[in-house]
Amino acid sequence: MAAGRRGGLAAVVVLVVPLLLLVVLPPPGAASAAALPVVINTWAFRTAAETAWRVLESGGSELDAVERGCGQCEIDQCDGSVGYGGSPDESGETTLDAMIMDGNTMEVGAVADLRRVKNAIGVARKVIEYTKHTLLVGESASLFAVRMGFPYEDLTTQKSLSLYSEWLNQSCQPNYWKNVVPDSSKSCGPYKRPGKVTYKEEQTLSQRSVQNHDTIGMVIIGVSGTVVSGTSTNGAVHKIPGRVGDSPIAGAGSYADSTAGGAAATGDGDIMMRFLPSYQAVEYMRMGTDPTVACQKVISRIQKYAPKFFGAVICANTTGSYGAACNKIPGFTQFHFMVSSPLLSQPTEQVVDCI
C-alpha cells in the first residue's frame, strides 16, 4: 500500500508540475490541452462569445466559430458599432467592414464599405472560399455578396436616421475633415480645398471614445492549435463615405498564425492601422513574449506617436494563454473583454487596466 501511495504521489507531482509551468512560464510553441480551446473577443459582447463557444462544443471548426460569433454581433447590433443600423456616414448610410483569417493557410477574406448586405463576415468568408482575392470593397463587394446568395437588405434603421439628423442639426459636428473650406469645425459641407492651405494641428484627443467604440474582434485557438481571427464593424460614425478603417485589414484589425497565435484590435482604426498592431503582437508572441506583454508593447509603440489615441488589443498564443492591453485616456481607463476556455465554467467577462 505504501508503495502504491508513493506511486500515486509521484504521479500527482508529475502531473501538477508541468501544469504549473504552463501557467507561469509556457514554453514557446507548446500547447496545453487543459487550456484549449480558447475564445477571446473584444468588449463585453457576451452573446458573441457564447455563440462561438457553442459552435466549438458542437464540433464546428474554428472558422465556423469565428464567423458565427462575429455574425451574432452583426445580428445583435452590438453597441450600435457592429452590424446594420449604426454609425451612419456623412450621407446617412451605414456600411460594413469585416475580415476572417485562417492561421493554418494564412488565407484572408475581407470586405470593406459593404453596402446593403447585413452579414459582412459571412461575405468575407466567401471571399476565401470562392475567390483567389483577399479584399473586396464597395458596390462590387455587394454584387459579389448577392452572387454568393446573400440578400440585399436596408441597413438603415430609425436609430441611424436619428443619429444622422441630430448630427446635421449640430452643424455636422464632429467630422473627419481638416484644412478645408468652409471651416469644417463650424459648419457642414460640401467642403473643398482652400486657395491657400493653412495646415492646422490635428486634434490631440481621439474623436472616438468608449461611448463610440467599434469592432468585434475575435481570436480562437483550437484544441489542435489552429488559430483563426476575425472582425466586424460598421466603422466610424459620421465618417467620410468610402472610409475604410483597420478592421478588414490583415495585420491591423486582426491577425492569425497557427505557429504563433492571434490578435485583434479595436478603437481608432485610422490611427491604429498605421502600426499593424495585430501582426506585431503575434510576432512578439512568436518570440516567446507573454500575450499580455505583447499587447502592451504594441500599445506603447502607438503611444509614442499618438499618446491620446483610443484603442485596445487582445492577444492569445498557441498554449491558450491570453491577455489584453489598452491606452489610458480620459473616460477610458479599463478595457472589458470576453474569454471562453475549459478552465472557465462559462464565457467570462474580464477587465484590464489601461496603461
For residue 51 the three cell numbers come to: 455563440
Distance CA(291)–CA(325), nearest Å, equals 10
Distance CA(54)–CA(67), nearest Å, equals 12
Q: What's phi and psi for 20, nearest 5 deg?
A: -65, -40
| 292 marked among binding-site residues | no
Q: Are strands 348-353 and 334-340 parallel, antiparallel or unpaired?
A: antiparallel
Asked about 215 being catalytic, the answer comes back as yes
Question: For residue 240, how far is the Cα from the chain centroid?
Answer: 21
Q: Confirm if 121 and 63 have CB atoms less than 8 A apart.
A: no
| 262 marked among binding-site residues | no
Diameter over CA atoms, the chain: 95
| 268 marked among binding-site residues | yes
| 261 marked among binding-site residues | no
Distance CA(350)–CA(8), nearest Å, equals 36
Beta bridge partners of 102: 107, 228
For residue 248 the three cell numbers come to: 478588414
Pick from 161, 72, 55, 70: which is nearest to 111 by CA? Answer: 70
| 245 marked among binding-site residues | yes
DSSP letter at 180 equals -
Pick from 60, 63, 54, 56: which is nearest to 103 by CA? Answer: 63
| 246 marked among binding-site residues | yes
Helix 120-130 / helix 62-76 crossing angle, nearest 10 deg = 150
| 79 marked among binding-site residues | no
The residue from 95, 215, 226, 318 that is catalytic is 215
- Using only the alpha carbons of the chain, give its radius of gyration: 22
Distance CA(226)–CA(107), nearest Å, equals 13
Q: Confirm if 248 and 135 have CB atoms less than 8 A apart.
A: yes
| 244 marked among binding-site residues | yes
Catalytic residue IDs: 215
Annotated binding-site positions:
243-246, 266-269
Annotated binding-site positions for substrate:
243-246, 266-269
